Amino acid sequence: MVKFSDEDVSLERVVITSVQDSEKFAQVVANSLGKPTILKKIMHPRVYTAREFGPKFQVDIAGKHVYIIAPNDPWEMGPQGKSWRVGMVAQAANDNNVGEVTAVLPDCNFTRKERHERGTGRSLRFMANVFKVAGIDRVLTVHAHTSRAINIFGEVYFEQEAKKKANELLLEYPMVADILERHIGNRALVDFLDLTRPGKRKKDEKTGDWEYEKDEIFDFNNKTLMEKVNSFFESYDAHTYELGKTVFYDLDMAPLVAHYLVTESMLADRIDFASGGKNLVLFYSDLGARPFGERIRHYLGLLGLPNVGYLQILKLRKAPNDPNKIIAEIDLEQSDFGGSLENKYLFGADDGTDSGGTFDMAAKAVKAEEFVEKFGLPVDVALYFTQAWMSGRNYKDPQDLLAGINPIEIITTNTNTNIERHLIPAFEGRTTTLRLARYIAAAIKYGFEGGRDLEDVFAFKTKDDLMVRAGLIYSIKRSRELHPRELVDILI
């Protein structure tokens, strides 16, 4: 167990940089590692009059370990600009004989765009390719939107190994190549994997199109064939996931959220510890939020709350990021909350929120007349999301929507640093920010520089372990100290 104390870990080779002037998050990481030097004196993130970025290292970094800290801030630059700058700083570091480069992206952009659809590009794969070419050795992030990011980095950074595995599997599952291209439209993945079926199809050299035999019609209702297709992807994904884990590191927020809930949150003194937390119910606003919620419940169990309930909500989105085009229903078969919400507190947790519509529709589902008549109305609700996307510069509408739910507390993090500067009063008065620079610093010191696996560094296995260590790797900013709840209710 790592004690997060002054263990003998050499940080002599560590160099902390940012991609913009006056980056407080990066500076706090540096300070936490005992390197309080003004970052601009280490690497100057120069921007010329034509807005061209030209980073310049001011110190000798030969053999050093450079960590490029780049949280999101839509008021400074968009995700495209940030990713490009990270690559340019990495390139500059490699041009100066650096030992290794780590891109620290507290909110890794483009993980919400990991799926291929007809007519669209694959932004995350493009970023991974840029990082590889720039000489970035690894990526560190917090609560990625999907674990598929690990697979994608595995495919990009270990291209030949991924291709070899895919083609080995194709000997057993040859129909997959046709399915990918003809039925999913993912020709780019077919080309990447060199998926071919000799003798079954040929390519027109002029048009680039494939010609198929007439009887090559795949039946998605054929159970036997579908089992083979699923087996191919399960084996291939498991392989690329293991490859990706060596270059893409994703810090889990579940232990920190559980720790904050029982120690400092507005729900802390309302949770019934005598009953093991029976008066607390976690709600999963969609199926994608369930794994994160289950991990929070696991850590709450460690903290003496094994009886926390859960409520599964199914989200039906008619249009992306439009809160007016989301409907929901509660899946009772995937829920367990003791049959009633009377005298209980709801806690919703997700990886991030953009429009606020997912949380809003979840609240409406719980407050629906038919549901309330049968299961009652909870006493109060609190919300958590790691990534405060908040529609970027159009933050007022989602903040207003979330404040309108009337939660007792809204908890988020500073992975998107603008959340601490751009707030409407009704939202600000309810908000607590978990600041994560210490978490990043601990990963750098005890994981990468200490030579330990991050899963071991942050393995909280007992109540005492979680209570003592988790509180050391984050700090808190409470806006509600400025606005008592009574005043906040008036502001809505």
pLDDT, tens digit, for every residue of 270-316?
Answer: 999 999 999 999 999 888 899 999 999 999 999 999 999 999 998 66
Domain presence at residue 364: yes
Do 292 and 391 sit in the same domain of this protein? yes
CA nearest 115: which of 320, 289, 329?
320
The 10s digit of each residue's pLDDT in 339-398 is: 999 999 999 999 999 999 889 988 888 988 889 999 999 999 999 999 999 887 888 999
Do 204 and 297 sit in the same domain of this protein? no
Do the beta carbons of residue 166 and residue 195 sit within 8 Å? yes
The range of the structural domain enclosing residue 178 comes to 159-248
Do 312 and 389 sit in the same domain of this protein? yes
Per-residue tokens: 323: 């809160």
Q: Is 192 exposed, middle or buried (0-12, 13-18, 19+ CB in 10 A)?
A: middle
Do 208 and 352 sit in the same domain of this protein? no
- Residue at a domain's end among 248, 278, 296: 248
Tell me how far apart the alpha carbons of residues 254 and 458 are, in angstroms, rounded to a whole number.
11
Domain presence at residue 183: yes
Mean pLDDT of the chain: 85
Do 325 and 413 sit in the same domain of this protein? yes
Domain presence at residue 82: no
pTM (two decimals): 0.87
Tell me how far apart the alpha carbons of residues 346 and 282 are, in angstroms, rounded to a whole number.
6
Beta-sheet strands, E only, within 137-257: 138-142, 201-203, 210-212, 248-251
Number of domains in the chain: 2
Domain presence at residue 143: no
Do 425 and 288 sit in the same domain of this protein? yes
Do the beta carbons of residue 155 and residue 192 sit within 8 Å? yes
> Which is it for the CA torsion 309, 311, 312, 318, positive or negative?
negative
- Residue at a domain's end among 248, 276, 303: 248
> Where residue 365 sits, what CATH number does that domain have?
3.40.50.2020
Do 183 and 265 sit in the same domain of this protein? no
- Residue at a domain's end among 196, 231, 248: 248
Do 278 and 419 sit in the same domain of this protein? yes
Do 186 and 320 sit in the same domain of this protein? no
Per-residue tokens: 187: 């020709």
Domain presence at residue 56: no
Do 401 and 370 sit in the same domain of this protein? yes
Domain presence at residue 20: no
Tell me how far apart the alpha carbons of residues 468 and 36 are, in angstroms, rounded to a whole number.
26
Do the beta carbons of residue 433 and residue 477 sit within 8 Å? yes
Q: At 445, is the secondary structure helix, strand, or coil?
A: helix
| Residue 94 scores a pLDDT above 80 | yes
Domain presence at residue 100: no
Do 231 and 267 sit in the same domain of this protein? no
Mean pLDDT (whole number) for 204-208: 60
> Which is it for the CA torsion 226, 227, 228, 232, positive or negative?
positive
The 10s digit of each residue's pLDDT in 436-456 is: 999 999 999 999 999 999 999
Do 237 and 379 sit in the same domain of this protein? no
Of 104-118, 176-190, 254-268, 386-400, least confident by mean pLDDT is 176-190
Give DSSP secondary structure letters for 96-162: TT-SEEEEEESS-TTTT--S--TT---HHHHHHHHHHHHT--EEEEES-S-THHHHHHHHHHTHHHH
DSSP 176: H
Domain presence at residue 284: yes
